Amino acid sequence: MRQWIRITDRAEFDKIWERIKTIAPPSVTKYLEENWMKEVELWSAVYRTTRDIHAVPDTNMLVEAWHRLLKHHFMGSKHGRRVDQLIHVLATVAIPHYQQRHLRQSLGFDGMDLTQ
């Protein structure tokens, strides 16, 4: 089933769904039909091929990723930092990092987003 959610071809997706319905217990099929197949557009790759994570963020994944980067990369994984230390790190480390990254991107040395 892990591979099923990543299929981008509708015909192949439907074929596997029909196969699942023939081999899965009726209770599983009923559960999937009632809870997942009604909202297949939200989780199946068939319907998510044109979605851009930056244009249509529907989770807090980007915020969590930034928070992890801030804690582990910029602040050195140290706990209990004070607000003045956070401001110092943002002003002297994080902002210059992103300024340099922007420069590298504009010169073609780095990709423009997470997918490049």
Which tens digits make up the pLDDT trace of 77-100?
A: 777 778 998 899 999 999 999 899
Structure tokens at 50: 């044109």
Strongest mean pLDDT among 3-7, 8-12, 44-48, 59-63: 8-12
pTM: 0.47
CB 68 within 8 A of CB 75: no
Distance between CA atoms of residues 54 and 32, nearest Å: 29
Distance between CA atoms of residues 37 and 32, nearest Å: 6
How many residues in the chain? 116
Q: What is the largest CA-CA distance in the chain?
A: 61
Considering the chain, what is the average pLDDT of its residues? 84
